[in-house]
Amino acid sequence: MTSNSDTLKPTFTPEEIEALYFNTARQGEIELLAEFIRAGMDINHQNNEGHTALILASYHNQLSAVELLLEKGADPNIIDNKGAAALTGVAFKGYIPIAERLIKAGANVDSENNLRRTALMFAILFGRNEMVKFLLQAGANPNHTDGEGLTPLQLAENQGDAELIQLLQKQN
């Protein structure tokens, strides 16, 4: 005979648990995210696209979730299937407070994606001038060459952004 509590106990597949975990990070639900971590969820677990909870929380501007994940040992240098680390998504979105936390936690400021583009290059391509300034101050390489042979200065020139061109020329 089964007890009433056994018949009411919800069961989730590993895929459903993973989806809930990643949605929790993406939406910045701190209490639930902390519960997943306490329950033993691998903090650096990657989904089928290579995203970690930290990558998703960063990309969706969930500063409190980012701080919790970093505090609990999330690796800021894990890359997704496209070679992008958390800092890459933050750079093209322009989320400086999250970029600061990631770099403070040891994120490689010059991490390259599969096209050899860095966070600095993405910030340039998406017109995130304040992020460009921040990344340069954080030590980003202004002379890096991507997979197409382009430097940050050349990308800024292609974008026609006079402010960034001037800024990057001063770096050389």
pLDDT per residue over 9-54, tens digit each?
Answer: 678 888 888 999 999 999 999 999 999 999 999 999 999 999 999 9
pLDDT for 44 equals 97
H-only helix segments in the chain: 4-8, 14-27, 30-38, 53-59, 63-71, 86-93, 96-104, 119-125, 129-137, 152-159, 162-171
Is the entire prediction scored with pTM above 0.85? yes
Between CA 166 and CA 74 the distance in angstroms is 37
The CATH code that applies to domain 4-171 is 1.25.40.20
Where are the domains positioned within the chain?
A: 4-171
